[in-house]
């Protein structure tokens, strides 16, 4: 590969909250000068209009990408204040560009000119997407409505950031000390060790994901499980231990109101319709038909699974009524009875370093890439790792940062994000992508490495699927490289696909090694795990359908209702698909960051939509070889490398030879259904 620019990794330690606002203002001022010059060009072309705009996109990423990342993984009051202060400036800057009628006209002239046909697919896609986004950003509106659009966009950016900050603060605020011996019963030794206070040798629980999940699964002390459950499901709400302190209720109402106003400005009936303009799904009816078809098959199965769990809990403990804080606990007990293994037993075989080594080996088999550890680099935290990603022949793809352990000040969950996209600048130099993968696994102990559950392993593989999409792109135009420009409901396709290998014996053998003995996962234990693959898949599916239907309905049906309507909408969805007990104080929606601060608004269904694509595509690997490097190369060439340069459905068809079928998903869940 020729003309590769030297990679300049971000200097995270040099980011000073006191200077962020000035840096953003300086960038925007210089960018506006460039845009003013573009608007005066007498001969609009790719080189005179689009290339300078693409350069600005990447220059912005180089400044804001590391700052955005730090705000997610090492949040401090000073950093958050600076971030929130700069956010409206970015929103205003982007709105000014996307509502610039002169720019829109110039780009339209390029598309209508004979020169358009001489451009490559990626460049054509950039122009097509940019013109679409101009119209979706109000370029056709009157001046007063443009101003209203900008005002709404700025408010939405601020409110979304505040929503996420409230969830982070509410999660971080809760602690529960274990004063009594009976409260320790059933808890894994790693959890007790991880949560002991330094001075008092007293376990103190938090709502960090690995700790909360372990308590709900293994704590024999029922009041402890209840306390933790109540604290978790009331975060950032009007009830619970911190009632009203970080209440996201008013913020949710305002976000929905503003999104609806934005959609109306652009002549859409609702925000869900607006959202679908950048997705594979073509109508709201299609999305609802898809979700309802899944619900039709999943609910009966979930009810059957729930009835079995109730019977088991009554037989085991005499429980006449199963409460929400009992579900994970008795589900784990029932798993142990049915399949003779516990998730904690599996954890011992999945020390994180071994899992990473095995995952890297799989990526080498499938995609002929190597991840080489880098020792010297600027870290934002001691947990951070860095890898150089290259082909076996030394062809460099980019760089990957990992930040895998839970800690205070770090957002919960797991995600992959792009720091710098792959792009070729106006001087012809190619800049390689830089990517983050962030998780919240349990921290290593004094004598033990971080030990992963099988679900943790799947999470890691999932996020690496996103990272591959960023890193293996061969598209030089940043607006459509990596996942940029990819239909939102297809973004999860590669990540969902990677999860499938977590059930394959050869992969599990390669990523496992008991942290004490080094023994790989025994075949007998693997067979038990495989036998349990469909365990409670109905309950899991209806839970995801609850999230998806709630998200879609509130964006489809909102029309100025009061704040209580959000809870009512969720209650109505639960009447359709929920089969587990849910107390009236449950405020799940108040911490639903995916749709209020994560970009999945009216698009949470994408997880299941993309799972159809992944389950269908994985059938090719099952038929032609799970470790077939030729097939892996084909997936890389036809999906991962293409970014948003081509239509997502066209890319899927190019790989599979046909459109996706829902059968594969339901078969992968142990459910049979006729094609829609």
- Which domains does the chain possess? 12-98+100-136 (1.20.1050.40), 175-233 (no CATH), 249-341+537-604 (1.10.1370.10), 352-471+490-531+608-668 (1.10.1370.40)
Q: What is the DSSP string of 536-581?
A: THHHHHHHHHHHHHHHHHHHHH-SS--THHHHHHHHHHHHHH--S-
Closest CA to 262 of 558, 676, 568, 622: 558
Task: Please tell me the predicted confidence (pLDDT) of residue 676.
Answer: 37
Note the pLDDT tens digit of each residue in 259-286.
Answer: 999 999 999 999 999 999 999 999 999 9
Task: Please tell me the predicted confidence (pLDDT) of residue 563.
Answer: 76
Backbone angles phi, psi at 431, to 5 degrees: -105, 130
Residue 670 region by backbone torsions, left for phi larger than 0, else alpha for psi between -120 and 50, else beta: left
Is the pLDDT at 68 greater than 70? The verdict is yes
- Do 593 and 163 touch, CB atoms closer than 8 A? yes
Distance CA 541, CA 578 (A): 10
Report residue 672's pLDDT band, with 50, 70 and 90 as the boundaries: low
Here the tokens at position 95 are: 């709105």
Note the pLDDT tens digit of each residue in 210-256.
Answer: 999 999 999 999 999 999 999 999 999 999 999 999 999 999 999 99
Active-site residue flag, 154:
no
Note the pLDDT tens digit of each residue in 609-654.
Answer: 999 999 999 999 999 999 999 999 999 999 999 999 999 999 999 9
Task: Please tell me the predicted confidence (pLDDT) of residue 426.
Answer: 92
Beta bridge partners of 4: 430
Task: Please tell me the predicted confidence (pLDDT) of residue 475.
Answer: 97
**Is 11 in a helix, a strand, or coil?**
coil
Distance CA 253, CA 260 (A): 11
Task: Please tell me the predicted confidence (pLDDT) of residue 199.
Answer: 54
Distance CA 420, CA 440 (A): 23
Report residue 441's pLDDT band, with 50, 70 and 90 as the boundaries: very high
- Do 166 and 236 touch, CB atoms closer than 8 A? yes
Torsion of CA 565, 567, 571, 574, to 10 degrees: 120
Q: What is the DSSP string of 279-343?
A: SS---HHHHHHHHHHHHHHHHHHHHHHHHHHHHHHHHHH--SS--HHHHHHHHHHHHHHHHS--H
Closest CA to 137 of 87, 86, 106, 91: 91
Is the pLDDT at 670 greater than 90? The verdict is no
Task: Please tell me the predicted confidence (pLDDT) of residue 197.
Answer: 62
pTM strictly above 0.95 = no
- Do 136 and 266 touch, CB atoms closer than 8 A? yes
Here the tokens at position 155 are: 């408010």
Distance CA 451, CA 292 (A): 38
- Report the DSSP pairing between strands 434-441 and 175-177: unpaired
Report residue 2's pLDDT band, with 50, 70 and 90 as the boundaries: low
The residue count of the chain comes to 676
Note the pLDDT tens digit of each residue in 549-584.
Answer: 999 999 999 988 887 899 999 999 999 999 999 999
Q: Which residue has the tokens 């939102």?
A: 488
Angle between helix 209-218 and helix 324-339 axes, rounded to 10 deg:
70
- Do 585 and 234 touch, CB atoms closer than 8 A? yes
Active-site residue identified among 463, 477, 546, 611: 463
Distance CA 653, CA 398 (A): 28
Average pLDDT, the chain: 94
Burial class of 422 by CB neighbour count within 10 A (0 to 12, 13 to 18, 19+)? buried
Note the pLDDT tens digit of each residue in 295-342.
Answer: 999 999 999 999 999 999 999 999 999 999 999 999 999 999 999 998
Distance CA 115, CA 122 (A): 14
Report residue 675's pLDDT band, with 50, 70 and 90 as the boundaries: very low
Is the pLDDT at 198 greater than 60? The verdict is no
Angle between helix 249-265 and helix 537-557 axes, rounded to 10 deg:
60
Beta bridge partners of 430: 4, 424
Q: Which helix (H) or strand (E) holds 26?
A: helix 17-39
Report residue 110's pLDDT band, with 50, 70 and 90 as the boundaries: very high
Closest CA to 550 of 581, 615, 596, 598: 596
Report residue 674's pLDDT band, with 50, 70 and 90 as the boundaries: very low
Q: What is the DSSP string of 144-203?
A: HHHHHHHHHHHHHHHHHHHHHHHHHHHHHH-EEE--SGGGGTT--HHHHHHHB-TTT--B
Distance CA 365, CA 363 (A): 5
User: Taking the CB of residue 289, how many other CB atoms lie within 10 A of it?
Assistant: 13
Beta bridge partners of 403: 438
Task: Please tell me the predicted confidence (pLDDT) of residue 408.
Answer: 87
Is the pLDDT at 111 greater than 80? The verdict is yes
- Do 627 and 285 touch, CB atoms closer than 8 A? no
Closest CA to 615 of 668, 657, 651: 668
Note the pLDDT tens digit of each residue in 350-369.
Answer: 999 999 999 999 999 999 99
Q: Percent of the chain, pLDDT > 70? A: 98
Distance CA 566, CA 355 (A): 41
CA–chain centroid gap for 46, Å, is 33
Note the pLDDT tens digit of each residue in 485-512.
Answer: 999 999 999 999 999 999 999 999 999 9
């Amino acid at each position: 590969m020729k003309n590769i620019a030297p990679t300049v990794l971000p200097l995270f330690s040099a980011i000073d909250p006191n200077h962020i606002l000035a840096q953003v203002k300086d960038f925007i001022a210089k960018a506006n000068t460039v845009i003013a010059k573009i608007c005066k060009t007498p001969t609009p072309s790719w080189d005179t209009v689009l290339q300078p705009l693409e350069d600005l996109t990447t220059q912005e990423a180089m400044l804001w990408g590391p700052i955005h990342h730090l705000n997610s993984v090492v949040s401090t009051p000073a950093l958050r204040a600076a971030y929130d202060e700069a956010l409206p400036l970015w929103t205003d800057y982007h709105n000014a560009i996307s509502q610039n009628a002169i720019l829109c006209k110039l780009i339209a002239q390029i598309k209508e000119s004979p020169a358009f046909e001489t451009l490559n697919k990626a460049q054509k896609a950039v122009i097509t997407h940019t013109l679409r986004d101009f119209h979706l950003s109000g370029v056709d509106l009157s001046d007063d409505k443009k101003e209203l659009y900008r005002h709404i966009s700025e408010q939405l950016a601020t409110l979304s950031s505040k929503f996420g900050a409230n969830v982070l603060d509410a999660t971080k605020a809760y602690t529960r000390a274990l004063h009594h011996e009976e409260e320790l019963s059933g808890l894994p030794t790693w959890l007790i060790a991880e949560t002991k206070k330094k001075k008092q040798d007293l376990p103190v629980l938090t709502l960090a994901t690995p700790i909360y999940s372990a308590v709900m699964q293994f704590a024999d002390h029922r009041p402890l499980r209840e306390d933790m459950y109540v604290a978790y499901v009331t975060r950032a709400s009007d009830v619970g231990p911190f009632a009203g302190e970080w209440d996201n209720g008013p913020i949710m109402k305002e976000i929905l109101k503003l999104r609806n106003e934005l959609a109306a400005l652009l002549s859409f009936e609702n925000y869900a319709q607006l959202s679908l303009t950048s997705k594979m799904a073509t109508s709201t009816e299609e999305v609802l038909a898809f979700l309802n078809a899944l619900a039709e098959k999943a609910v009966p199965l979930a009810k059957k699974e729930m009835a079995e769990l109730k019977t088991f809990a009554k037989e085991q403990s005499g429980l006449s009524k199963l409460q929400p804080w009992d579900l994970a606990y008795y589900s784990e007990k029932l798993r142990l009875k049915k399949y003779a293994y516990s998730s904690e037993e599996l954890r011992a075989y999945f020390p994180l370093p071994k899992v990473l080594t095995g995952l890297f080996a799989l990526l080498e088999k499938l995609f002929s890439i190597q991840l080489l550890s880098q020792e010297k680099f600027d870290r934002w935290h001691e947990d951070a790792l860095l890898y150089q990603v290259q082909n076996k022949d030394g062809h460099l793809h980019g760089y990957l940062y990992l930040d895998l352990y839970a800690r205070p000040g770090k957002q919960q969950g797991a995600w992959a994000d792009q720091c710098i996209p792959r792009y070729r600048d106006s001087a012809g130099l190619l800049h390689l992508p830089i990517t983050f993968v962030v998780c919240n696994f349990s921290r290593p102990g004094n004598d033990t490495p971080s030990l992963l559950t099988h679900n943790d392993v799947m999470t890691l593989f999932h996020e690496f699927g996103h990272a591959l999409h960023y890193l293996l792109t061969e598209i030089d135009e940043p607006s459509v490289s990596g996942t940029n420009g990819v239909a939102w409901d297809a973004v999860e396709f590669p990540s969902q696909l990677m999860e499938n290998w977590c059930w394959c014996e050869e992969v599990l053998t390669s990523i496992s090694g008991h942290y004490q003995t080094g023994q790989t996962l025994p075949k007998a234990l693997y067979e038990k795990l495989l036998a349990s693959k469909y365990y409670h898949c109905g309950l899991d599916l209806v839970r995801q359908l609850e999230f998806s239907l709630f998200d879609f309905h509130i964006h489809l049906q909102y029309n100025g209702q009061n704040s209580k309507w959000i809870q009512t909408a969720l209650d109505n969805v639960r009447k359709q698909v929920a089969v587990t007990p849910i107390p009236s104080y449950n405020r799940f929606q108040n911490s639903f960051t995916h749709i209020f601060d994560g970009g999945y608004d009216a698009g949470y269904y994408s997880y299941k939509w993309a799972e159809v694509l992944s389950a269908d595509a994985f059938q090719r690997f099952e038929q032609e070889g799970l470790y077939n490097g030729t097939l892996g190369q084909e997936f890389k060439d036809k999906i991962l490398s293409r970014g948003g340069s081509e239509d997502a459905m066209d890319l899927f068809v190019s790989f599979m030879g046909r459109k996706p079928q829902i059968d594969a998903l339901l078969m992968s869940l142990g459910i049979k259904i006729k094609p829609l």
